[in-house]
Amino acid sequence: MQKLRTIKGTHDILPWESHKWQKIESVLREVFAAYAYKEVRTPVFEYTALFARGVGEFSDIVSKEMYTFEDKGGESLTLRPELTASVARSFIQHNYQQEAPLHKLWYLGPLFRQERPQAGRQRQFHQFGIEVIGSPHPEADAEVIELACRVYRALGLRNWELHINSIGSIEARKNYMDILRAALEPHKDGLCDTCRERFHGNILRLFDCKNPECGRIMKAHAPAILDHLSPEDTEHFNALRNYLDAVGIPYVIDPALVRGLDYYTRTTFEIKGTALGAQDALCGGGRYDLLIRDLDGPDTPAVGFAAGMERLILAMDAEGLFEQESDGLDLYIAPMDSRCLEKVLPLVTALREKGYRVQLELLRRSVKAMLRDANRQQVQWVAVVGEQELEKRSMNLKNLRENDQLETAWDEIGAVLDRTSKRKPI
């Protein structure tokens, strides 16, 4: 270690940026509460096997992006690269299904993946998300999607669009992959190298390729997965669409939206930020009816989404949605010297106890400097405290926003501050 600095791909949330996180978090809590979701918090590290089994051993995340290490007992542990597996583990471990037939959960926390950083992608990043565990019905999918959209609307974000698709049940998907392979076989030579490699593995990934030639071939010759679903899958998808239509959520049906982690079944969806760079997925999710069973839990259907905090902040910054928020300080006490400070200290403490936000000068600066500082901090009221004020047990409360001043007895101060304060007693 030469210079002390953050690890590649990690960032400090600086004191003058943290308000952005707090604003988003408070809106999230309100939205989740309105939809009756409960928060779940799980540890940031888990046994490696959880992710290997839950996410899929051959997925990129597990095979090359995890922070895995051995503890002193020789156990292989991993910093969580995603949260759905952890929530599923918690569900199984604590037998949630014994408590109630349906659980609606939300989470927010840091995740870790060892990738090359770029715009909208860090090695430590944060996701919030929800999981509805227990319902196989399309109304659960609809609620999850509608809730995701609600979050972005509630935050005032405009430049995004919802993409939905269905990749069907396991059987329908296997069937479709054979059909796709057969349809593309004659055009195989025109595909790029990676696509030719994937041809015999997960052929669905060919939809993701950004090579223009591959895109042309897929568009011309690949049959749509929606045409090859089982009748039950189709019914589920149509019901979802009806629900979305009923609540006025516009969406794009995107047959190429086949990605995601190994555990998805039927519904997949994504919310794309239309003003972002290459990393434009604000939110991704879908149904995962098999995950909990695959982790040796009870056969339990589930649907959810995960959304990136950092990308959301990028998108909101691009739309100028973070106003310069003041700290809402009620009063700035500017003592003329240390003796005056000592004498007003009990008053300051008493006001803070009642919940007023009071800034007290700690640098022994000049009156002019203190006033300047108070102005910079957008404090509502400021009081210079010298010998006169101590003798009369009153102070001139100067309203920095209205530019007037009124003499106030010490025990009247609260009443004046109440005109503008948003205090809550502590």
Decide: residue 319, CB within 10 A, 0-12 exposed, 13-18 middle, 19+ buried: middle
Residue of the chain from 79, 191, 240, 306 that contacts RNA (CB under 7 A): 306
Q: State which of positions 317-356 bind RNA (CB under 7 A).
A: 336
Contact flag: residue 279 with RNA (CB under 7 A): yes
Give the residue from 158, 156, 138 showing the smallest Cα distance to 269: 138
Residue of the chain from 161, 319, 373, 412 that contacts RNA (CB under 7 A): 373
Contact flag: residue 261 with RNA (CB under 7 A): yes
Contact flag: residue 197 with RNA (CB under 7 A): no
Using DSSP's 3-state secondary structure scheme, residue 111 falls into strand
Give the residue from 139, 143, 146, 172 showing the smallest Cα distance to 239: 139
Residue of the chain from 46, 310, 330, 361 that contacts RNA (CB under 7 A): 310
Q: Which residues are CB-neighbours of 115 under 8 A, at least 6 positions away? A: 9, 65, 121, 123
Contact flag: residue 371 with RNA (CB under 7 A): yes
Contact flag: residue 270 with RNA (CB under 7 A): yes
* Interface mask toward RNA for 12-31; x: CB under 7 A: --------------------
* Interface mask toward RNA for 39-68; x: CB under 7 A: --------------------xxx---x---
Q: Which residues are CB-neighbours of 409 under 8 A, at least 6 positions away? A: 393, 394
Question: Shortest Cβ distance from residue 84 to RNA (Å)?
Answer: 8
Residue of the chain from 18, 26, 118, 238 that contacts RNA (CB under 7 A): 118
Contact flag: residue 366 with RNA (CB under 7 A): yes
Q: Could you give the CA distance from residue 317 to residue 312 in angstroms, rounded to a whole number?
A: 8
Residue of the chain from 134, 138, 168, 284 that contacts RNA (CB under 7 A): 284
Q: Which residue has the tokens 């604590």?
A: 94
Contact flag: residue 389 with RNA (CB under 7 A): yes
* Interface mask toward RNA for 79-98; x: CB under 7 A: ---x----------------
| DSSP states of 5-47 | -PPTT-----TTTHHHHHHHHHHHHHHHHHTT-EE----SEEE
Question: Shortest Cβ distance from residue 425 to RNA (Å)?
Answer: 27
Contact 348, 358 (CB under 8 A): yes
Residue of the chain from 239, 386, 410, 420 that contacts RNA (CB under 7 A): 386
Q: Could you give the CA distance from residue 225 to residue 267 in angstroms, rounded to a whole number?
A: 12
Residue of the chain from 369, 406, 409, 415 that contacts RNA (CB under 7 A): 369
Contact 381, 417 (CB under 8 A): yes
Question: Shortest Cβ distance from residue 424 to RNA (Å)?
Answer: 25
Question: Shortest Cβ distance from residue 423 to RNA (Å)?
Answer: 21
Contact flag: residue 277 with RNA (CB under 7 A): yes
Cβ atoms < 10 Å from Cβ of 245: 12
Would you report the helix, strand and coil content of the chain in percent, each value rounded to 5? 40, 20, 35
Contact flag: residue 9 with RNA (CB under 7 A): yes
Contact flag: residue 311 with RNA (CB under 7 A): yes
Contact flag: residue 200 with RNA (CB under 7 A): no
